[in-house]
Amino acid sequence: MNVIVFASRKGGSGKSTLAAHLAAQIKASKSCLLIDADPQGSLTLWHKLRGTNEPPIKTAVNSVSGIVAAARREGVEWVLIDTPPTVSAVVEDAIKNATMVIIPARPGVFDVNAVQETIQTCRAARKPYAVVLNGAPARRDEAESPIVTIAREALAKFKAPVWGGQITNRADLLMALGQGEGVREYYAEGRAAAEIARLWAAIERSVKAIRGTVSSNGTMHKQAA
């Protein structure tokens, strides 16, 4: 079983958004459980709007360990955990249970700076992690926006592994959430769906490398040390 934790100290970086879209992506082929460990309940709201109970969701308050252990016993393949923008016991507990931590960050100076705390938590727990640039300006003529390049340079200074792709700021992502859908369900041929699919492929590749089933060449994560 693989546990992907979405964590970042910065509110609004895209933890709940990525968790929801990726859950809908996974659900198409594999068994998946969502855990909403954020009292704000964004993921729970999306799940209510969805109205199908697919994938199932559980709420965690102080700890996720019991829910994760039960999911393991039940043979769930993927567990996705959304966490609050705090440094709290439940975030630490989620990271302890992680196969890999995804740290979404918008490409702004305050946002990039704020990833450091979460990186420290991952390093302390010796967990693989990767930063995912989210809400980025669209690429033009195949070139990424200067602000994304600057963000990558700043993250390189922290020696933080960063996904080579980006999740662009797109209305489709919001529209889909409002209907309780993943963007693939909302508009499968769109660019937002392609980016989410690419992110999912990168996560799968990293998790296989973490599990030792493929070489780690070209993966986005870094084994925290």
Ligand X SMILES: Nc1ncnc2c1ncn2[C@@H]1O[C@H](COP(=O)(O)OP(=O)(O)OP(=O)(O)O)[C@@H](O)[C@H]1O
Q: If we measure between CA atoms, which residue out of 152, 181, 155, 150 comes closest to residue 165?
A: 152
Q: Can you name the residues that pair with 105 across neighbouring β-strands?
A: 133
Helix axes 15-27, 191-210, angle to 10 degrees: 80
Q: Which of 4, 14, 64, 81 forms a contact with ligand X (CB under 6 A)?
A: 14
Partner touching 99 among ligand X, Mg ion, none, CB below 5 to 8 Å by kind = none
Per rule CB under 5 A, is residue 216 in the interface with Mg ion? no
If phi over 0 gives left and psi between -120 and 50 gives alpha, with beta otherwise, what is residue 41?
A: left
Shortest reach from residue 143's CB to ligand X, in Å: 19
Residue type, 12: G
d(CA 66, CA 57): 14
Determine the interface stretch with ligand X among 94-102, 121-129, 171-179, 211-219 (rule: CB under 6 A): 171-179
- Is 154 or 177 the residue whose CB approaches Mg ion more closely? 177
Per rule CB under 5 A, is residue 116 in the interface with Mg ion? no
- Is 21 or 27 the residue whose CB approaches ligand X more closely? 21
Q: Which of 5, 15, 33, 94 forms a contact with ligand X (CB under 6 A)?
A: 15
SS3 116: helix
Q: Which of 42, 59, 88, 116 forms a contact with Mg ion (CB under 5 A)?
A: 42
- Is 174 or 188 the residue whose CB approaches ligand X more closely? 174
SS3 223: coil
d(CA 126, CA 225): 6
What is the distance in angstroms between the CA of the first residue and the CA of the last residue of the chain?
23
SS3 216: coil
Partner touching 127 among ligand X, Mg ion, none, CB below 5 to 8 Å by kind = none
Per rule CB under 6 A, is residue 170 in the interface with ligand X? yes
Residues lying near Mg ion in the complex (CB under 5 A): 15-16, 42
Residues lying near ligand X in the complex (CB under 6 A): 11-17, 38, 40, 42, 85, 134-135, 167, 169-170, 173-174, 177
